[in-house]
Amino acid sequence: GAARGPKNVIGTFHFFEIILDDDEWVENNEEEALAHVPYSPQRYPEETMLQRSKDFYSLMNQRRSVRFISPEPVPREVIDKVILTAGTAPSGAHTEPWTFVVVSEMDTKHKIRLIVEEEEEVNYRQRMGDKWVHDLARLRTNWIKEYLVT
């Protein structure tokens, strides 16, 4: 049968773990031996590269870092797929030991919020300079992170 791993770890996928809340438990799959996958970048004609770079810029230029969090639940399968995708971020030898944590318990979210807000307040009041604080003022952001408990 499958070996049981540390509590709350549902799998170590080559370079990261998915961790569950205390009330969830799944048997831990043993890490699989992964075969080498050679990298063969696709080459494009100059005209295609130019168009793709314009399209990519257009897409990225629409992206914004926002603190709007939808109150609607996200299916767990979607969360797992997003985490799997995030684990493919470029890193040395594609082997960074990423750890992603999915938190659904409100008490745990509240504890995280308190820790984050304490550190952020130190950033605003001590670590960062006046220019940094002034630049952020127009974005109406501060150390209060209400979105962490949604």
Q: Which of 15 and 44 is assigned the larger pLDDT?
A: 44
* Residue 71, domain member (yes or no): yes
* pLDDT > 80? residue 20: no
Task: Say yes or no: 119 and 87 in one domain.
Answer: no
Which stretches within 9-75 are classed as H helix?
A: 46-61
DSSP conformation class of 123: I
What is the pLDDT, as a whole number, of residue 2?
A: 41
CB-based contact 148:113 (threshold 8 Å): yes
Task: Say yes or no: 71 and 142 in one domain.
Answer: no
Q: If pLDDT is split at 50, 70 and 90, which confidence band does 138 have?
A: confident
* Residue 6, domain member (yes or no): yes
Give the predicted TM-score (pTM) of the model.
0.54
In the three-class reduction of DSSP (H, G, I as helix; E, B as strand; rest coil), residue 103 is classed as coil
Tokens of 40: 């063969």
Q: If pLDDT is split at 50, 70 and 90, which confidence band does 48 have?
A: very high
In the three-class reduction of DSSP (H, G, I as helix; E, B as strand; rest coil), residue 112 is classed as helix
* pLDDT > 80? residue 105: yes
